[in-house]
Amino acid sequence: MDPSNLEKQRIPEEPRYLDFPNSKPGSGLNKYSSTLTREHDFPAAQAMLYAAGVPNEHVLKNYPQVGIASVWWEGNPCNTHLLDIGKEVKRAVEKQEMLAWQYNTVGVSDGITMGGEGMRFSLQTREIIADSVETVTCAQFHDACITIPGCDKNMPGCVMGMARHNRPSLMIYGGTIQPGYSKLLKKPINITSALEAHGAYIYNRLKNPDDPSQTQDEILTDLEKEACPGSGACGGMFTANTMATMIETLGLSLPGSSSTPATSPAKMRECQKAAEAIKICMEKNIRPKDCLTKTAFENALVMMMALGGSTNGVLHTLAMAGTAGVDLTLDDFQKVSNKIPFIADMAPSGKFLMADLYDIGGIPSVQKLLIAAGMLDGSTITVTGKTLAENVESWPSLKQGQEIIRSLDNPIKPTGHLEILYGNLAPNGAVAKITGKEGMKFTGKAKVFNKEHELDDALNKGEIPRTENFVLVVRYEGPKGGPGMPEQLKASAAIMGAGLKNIALITDGRYSGASHGFIVGHISPEASVGGPIAVVQDGDLITIDAENNTISMDVEQDVIQKRLSEWKPPRMPVTRGVLAKYARLVGDASKGAMTDLF
């Protein structure tokens, strides 16, 4: 797409901010900030800008103003370094003769909150981050926006905020963590290693075959200490790396941003390139919605399926598309999954991490492969002012002999790993993560848990038997019922670590990108609004069929209707505060669990 033709192709937007009587954008790069800085219409605003650091009248009147929104906070390795990245971006933006204003949004660590009540606060931070980016950009009349996220919900939250204000914007991904290394087991590890080891610990299976004298406690302590060696997001094709990859493919971040490790010199060099790119976006008036087209989203889905991305990618991509006004549905994911091979041997189901992929060319090299194969449309516009194909044209091809990305004629699975399932258990759909290693079909007796902690307690006590096939059903954990749709990595990792191959796990909640096994989430409608999952009973036979894309309980429809007529919604677990507000506003998971669908 030629950027010079963007204005001709744009659909007129419904006025949102520019219809305010005192807002009179100009025509230069300081299009929005000139509302405050022109003449003497807002003398108090100008006085405060001088106090904030504007050096003189020439800069005030002529320099555009760029907001730099980092999701920085201490206490989470995904985010600890983002303030430093933001400072480097600020210096680079100022060299481009623009004013740069840093600010932060909130964040929640999924790894730290996993399996606890704090996880209920995680998903709603996506909305708070979007609200923050939209609020500061529009309230402060910023001309452009650079966001710097690091953890799972950070990335889609930033994109949703940028799509709402739709001013020239780009995203810098904080980057992936380096692999950890177990001193006792003498092998590379990551955050999933610690979680799955807990399942082995519970079932007394945590051993070092090379040194039987080591106790379970010693091994688990070693894994806890060594799994996360420094700054950066969780290292596999988990949710953070999935979303960063998809957003780079959407064109909203620079080539290589999603695969460049957090602590590498290249990540700091990216800050300089980002300052140059945001100026290009302002000069050519390239805005987020110019990148967020249906074709670009289809490209993002191709990358998700090829690389084995997180189920959370479905939820977040639906929300990003919905915010941008793009018609994307669950069925679009299935269409792409049906035709794109799964080629990446990356964690959680495979061996390698994003840092390993970086060493052989990174995400741009994978994009180059898929464009050459006709699976990616290289004509979409990006924040560099070039198309996706032009961005990767000079990028090195994947190294010969590498084992991370399989050839297209020798995939791990000939189709995608994500399957959209429908049936009498999920009339509005559900999302399954099935790599093929678990098989494509599973039938078992339902064992029902009304909250995640009930299943965690049962696993901790070793109460899940190995004697026959069971489908563990965790309900009342959806967007409204949780509230907050908590991830259930603790349970899925414990099942994998314990070696419970006779188990499938289904929920109206969701999973971490680090989850794997025979798992189905996002079952919709959720239990708290009277979805059929609310009336599943212990012993009901449930079949998950990824070949025919169905998930059903072997219960007659009139019996299901009778159970639903007798069902009464449970009392909401919270009635005040941010989670209660979120529960009242949030929509269905099948539409991305958005809070602004009115």
Active-site annotation, residues: 512
Contact predicate 428/508, CB 8 Å: no
DSSP β-bridge partners for residue 67: 101, 145
The C-alpha atoms of residue 40 and residue 36 are separated, in whole angstroms, by: 8
- 133: part of which helix (H) or strand (E)? helix 124-139
DSSP character at residue 350: S
Q: Work out the burial of residue 24: count CB atoms within 10 Å of its CB; fewer than 13 is exposed, 13-18 middle, 19 or more buried.
A: exposed
The C-alpha atoms of residue 262 and residue 176 are separated, in whole angstroms, by: 5
The C-alpha atoms of residue 158 and residue 145 are separated, in whole angstroms, by: 10
**What distance, in Å, lies between the first and last C-alpha atoms of the chain?**
32
DSSP string computed for 11-52: PPPPPSSTTSTT----SSTTTTTHHHHSTTS-HHHHHHHHHH
Q: How far is CA 436 from its chain centroid?
A: 23
Q: Work out the burial of residue 461: count CB atoms within 10 Å of its CB; fewer than 13 is exposed, 13-18 middle, 19 or more buried.
A: exposed
Closest to 540 measured CA to CA, from 529, 527, 551, 555? 555
Residue with tokens 């509230």: 483
| CA angle, 247 then 251 then 257, to 5° | 60
Dmax over Cα atoms in the chain, in whole Å? 79
The C-alpha atoms of residue 511 and residue 485 are separated, in whole angstroms, by: 9
- 522: part of which helix (H) or strand (E)? strand 519-524
What is the phi/psi pair of residue 520, to 5°? -135, 130
Closest to 226 measured CA to CA, from 191, 251, 276? 191
Contact predicate 232/263, CB 8 Å: yes
DSSP character at residue 171: E
- C-alpha dist (Å) from residue 171 to 80, 144, 292: 17, 11, 13
The C-alpha atoms of residue 29 and residue 360 are separated, in whole angstroms, by: 39
Contact predicate 101/140, CB 8 Å: yes
Instruction: Please tell me the number of Cα atoms within 13 Å of 395 on its side-chain side.
Output: 24
At 453, list the tokens.
């902690």
Where b means 16+ CB within 10 Å and e means fewer, 218-232 reads ebbebbeebbbbebb
